[in-house]
Every structure is written in structure tokens, then in C-alpha cells.
Amino acid sequence: MSKSKNIEVGKNVIKIEAQAVAAIANRIGNEFDNAVNTILNCKGRLIILGMGKSGLISQKIASTMASTGTPSHFVHPADAFHGDLGMITKGDVVLMVSNSGETHELLEIIPSLKRKAVPTISMVGKENSTLFKNTDYALDISVEKEACTLDLAPTASTTATLAMGDALAVALLESRGFNAQDFAELHPGGSLGKKLLLTVNQLTHKESKIPFVHKNTSLKEALLTISEKGLGITGVLDQNNELIGIITDGDIRRGIENGGNNIFDKTAEDFMSIKPKTITADTLAITALELMEKHNITSLFVYSSDELKKPDGIIHIHDILKTGIQ
């Protein structure tokens, strides 16, 4: 197949699938609302079942639900029929996914679910199917045609199913008042979790690692402190041990370029920059990074309490970047 033909086919697939998703949006109504409320009022978990490609989509929907505040997991219908039905208990809600609506592995367990008084929801591609007619609430995911040129391989239908699953998940998310902090609690290991959970306090250099000099310290001694602590900066303290300024290695380099070694005759107070940027220990690390980038600085002195005059920590931009936060 020629390059131009490949491009044409690829674009056509996307168009067909986009049209399929747009079409199911027009079918979201009372059944959808009832399905959302049934899941929302569930005292147990949302159990999702599907076979074949529908099973794979079901697993993705279950994962999305679980990560957005709706306790959920996937159960294979064949396994359910041979013992795993015990995983489904009164108080759960079952969502069954089938394009044909005639998947016998699903139909076989409906009587057991009814005996357990478990509410059932289906996503079905055929309105006149057995599954559509025998669940409490049925969501129409039918598509005009598959994106496959043979109109056989599940393509547009699986995309439409996934979109309906996302629609349910987001509607539930909104109804629960699920927020970014809640999301982070369920994703502590990823970069997103770090952005929403990692605080300055967890990355702060403390105690003897904090570079300080007093205001009457010679600039030469200040430079030695900067080199010793390895953060490219030192804080300057007054007679009350209150932070009144900072000196960076860049400041000293520029001073040498402009005034030569004569700058070493000065004290820290003579050379410091006043009103340094600081931050509190409970601030999110991503906020600290944004502050550094905004002011084109590489370090922030940290206070664990507003009552402190002397910072009890310092954080460097590299400490944040090493976590993977960007």
C-alpha cells in the first residue's frame, strides 16, 4: 500500500472513531444518570465484567474508576461462573460490557446476581439484545460501523465503550467532590503524586548543612562557607540571628570581575543582597520550584514556623529536580 493510501486510511479511522464517540454523547440521559447514582450509592465496590476486547476495555475502566475514587475491580466472567462469583457480594454493583449483548459468559451469571440482589448496569452495542433487556440500567454504546475496513475488528466500538466508561468515571468523580489531593493520595509513587504531595520539608537541608555567616564576617570567610556547604549560597545573620540577606557564589564572581580582589576587604553585610526569598517547610516542592524559576534563583531558605527568626532549613533547585518534578 502506498504512503498516501496509508495516510488516508489512518485519517479515516480517526474520523470514524471520533464520530462514534460524538454519537454516544447524544445518548447520555436518564439511564446514564441512574447508573451514576446507583454506583455512587453503592456500599461495596463496582465490579466490571467483559470478555475478549470488551474485557480489556473493562479492565481499563476498572482502573480509571479505582484511581478516581470509585473502588472497583475487574472480574473475568468465565472465572466468575466457575467460583469467582464469590468475589461479588451484596452491596456491590456490577457493570457488564458486551458489544453484542449476547456474550453467554455474562448472561449465565445474571440469575446469580439477581438472587444476590446486586444492581446491574450494562454497556451494550445492541438495544434489542438479551443483556440490554436484563440489566437494571443499560447504556447504549452502539456504533454505525467499525473503523476496520472489513467492519469486523472491534475498533470504533471499543473506543466508544472506553469513552462511556470515562464519562461514568468523571461524573462519579464530580459527584464525590474528588479533588487533586485525593487523586495524589491514590498515586503517591508517580510524578503526579510527587507534585501534589511532596513538600519542601522532605527535601530540606537542615542543621549543620545550612550555610550561615554573621554580618561582620569577612567576604573571604563567606566564600569559604559557600564552598564548604556546596549549595552556592550562604545566608547572612544579624546580631539576633535573624536572616537579613544572602550571598551567592555568582555574586562574588561578578564582584571580582567588576572590582578585583578588593572586594575581599568587605564584610558580608557590605556585599549581601537584602530581603532574600524564603519559604515555609509545609509548602509543596512544586511551588518552591515555581518560585525559584520565577525569580531566577537556585535556593530558598526554609522556615518550619512563622515564629522563627533564623531559618532552620534550605532547599536547592537540584533537590527538587532530582525527584523528577518539573
> pLDDT for 157-175, tens place per residue?
999 999 999 999 999 999 9
User: Please, where are the H alpha helices in the chain?
Assistant: 3-25, 30-40, 52-67, 77-81, 104-107, 110-115, 130-133, 156-176, 180-185, 191-197, 219-229, 249-259, 268-271, 285-295, 317-321
Residue-level pLDDT at 1: 66
**CA–CA–CA angle 157, 163, 169 (5° rounding):** 140
Amino acid at 175: S
Inter-axis angle of helices 156-176 and 52-67, to 10 degrees? 20
CA distances in angstroms from 25 to 13, 32, 171, 225, listed in the order given: 19, 11, 13, 64
Mean pLDDT, the chain, rounded, equals: 91
Of the candidates 168, 83, 160, 162, the one whose C-alpha atom is nearest the C-alpha of residue 121 is: 168
> Residue 181 pLDDT more than 80?
no
CA distances in angstroms from 78 to 59, 93, 103, 106, 222, listed in the order given: 15, 18, 11, 8, 73
Which positions ≥6 away from 60 have C-beta within 8 Å?
A: 162, 165
> pLDDT for 215-252, tens place per residue?
999 988 989 999 999 999 999 999 999 999 999 988 88
> pLDDT for 64-84, tens place per residue?
999 999 999 999 999 988 888
Domains of the chain: 3-178 (3.40.50.10490), 200-321 (3.10.580.10)
Residue-level pLDDT at 84: 86
* Cα distance between residue 266 and residue 263, in whole Å: 6
% pLDDT > 90, the chain: 73
Residue-level pLDDT at 75: 95
